[in-house]
Amino acid sequence: MKKIFSFIMLTMLLGIFATTAYSQCPSDIKGNPSCPDHQLYEDQAVIRIQDFKTKIAGLEEQLQALKADMAGLEKKLETTKTSIKDCNDNLYGMLGATMADVNAFRQQLGVIEGKLREMQRLPDDVLADRQADVFALEAELNELRKNKISMLAEFYPKIIKLAKEINPGLLREKKVKEYIVKSWFENRDCLWNIAGNVDIYGDPLQWPKVWQANTNIIRNPDLIHPGQVLSIPPAGPKSPEELKAERKYWREKREAQETQTQGTQGQ
């Protein structure tokens, strides 16, 4: 009895398993394409493999067609490149230039653009002191514009744009501040201390700049008076005129001191 019961139970389990597997993967595999490969029957696997082969063949045909199209496009590209080169050679010839001349022009224009970008990064007060460099750069660009190569479509719009970025783009006016002189006894105001003020230059050695900017009201740099309104030029290196005035001042001070010393010794 036990053997008969075990056989019956085994038969039932096999039937349940077969029914479940069959329900997961019907014989019409196209009706259930998501069925995993390892659950397929032989006829189902054959159908799926044949389907893959058909798809691969179709893709290979598309690939060959794309390769043929690419070859045709590459041929057209080479033809176009040759046509462009011939057109450029004819155009350069009309301007009396060669490809080497055009490349050299392109490089010169790039140098000018590099200088422009460098100046554009400068603060306004520094740029105001370098207006001579701005006009020199403008003259350099204008000289380049005299070349017939500048009329080429590659360069003309760019040159016009650079010209505007230089002038008026880089033009700056010097901002002149004012300072009202205070008393010596309360504020110790003198040109040396005024220049050393952190709100002015923060450097007392810059006092000649204040002096030379106000020679209309300062006759003797050792004597300034409360209430005088001084123009304070922008900070920066001393100009040649300021250096010349400073040297003359110290020379006269030294000569006056030597004269006084000689007079004292004579007495």
> Which residue would you say has higher pLDDT here, 265 or 139?
139
What is the arithmetic mean of pLDDT over 125-153?
Answer: 93
Helices (DSSP H) in 95-169: which residue ranges?
99-120, 124-129, 131-145, 156-166
Residue 44 lies in a domain: yes
What is the arithmetic mean of pLDDT over 194-199?
Answer: 92
- 85 with 137, same domain: the answer is no
Residue 32 lies in a domain: yes
**Confidence at residue 251, expressed as pLDDT on a 0 to 100 scale:** 95
Residue 89 lies in a domain: yes
**Confidence at residue 14, expressed as pLDDT on a 0 to 100 scale:** 43
Residue 256 lies in a domain: no
Query: String of b and e for 128-166 (b: at least 16 CB within 10 Å)?
Result: bbbeeebeebbeebeebbebebbebeebeeebeebeebb
Residue 12 has pLDDT above 90, yes or no: no
Structure tokens at 90: 């004819």
Number of domains the chain is built from: 3
pLDDT more than 90, % of the chain: 66
Q: Residues 212-221: pLDDT tens digits?
A: 999 999 999 9
**Confidence at residue 265, expressed as pLDDT on a 0 to 100 scale:** 72
Domain that holds residue 137: 99-166
Residue 189 has pLDDT above 50, yes or no: yes
Residue 21 has pLDDT above 80, yes or no: no
The neighbour count for residue 108, using CB atoms within 10 Å, is: 16
Mean pLDDT computed over every residue of the chain: 87
- 181 with 127, same domain: the answer is no
CATH of residue 193:
3.10.350
C-alpha torsion sign, points 153, 156, 157, 162 = positive
Structure tokens at 195: 């220049």
**Confidence at residue 267, expressed as pLDDT on a 0 to 100 scale:** 62
Structure tokens at 164: 């505007």
Of 167, 172, 160, 159, residue with least CA distance to 122: 172
Q: Residues 55-105: pLDDT tens digits?
A: 999 999 999 999 999 999 999 999 999 998 889 889 899 999 999 999 999
Q: Residues 117-126: pLDDT tens digits?
A: 999 999 887 8
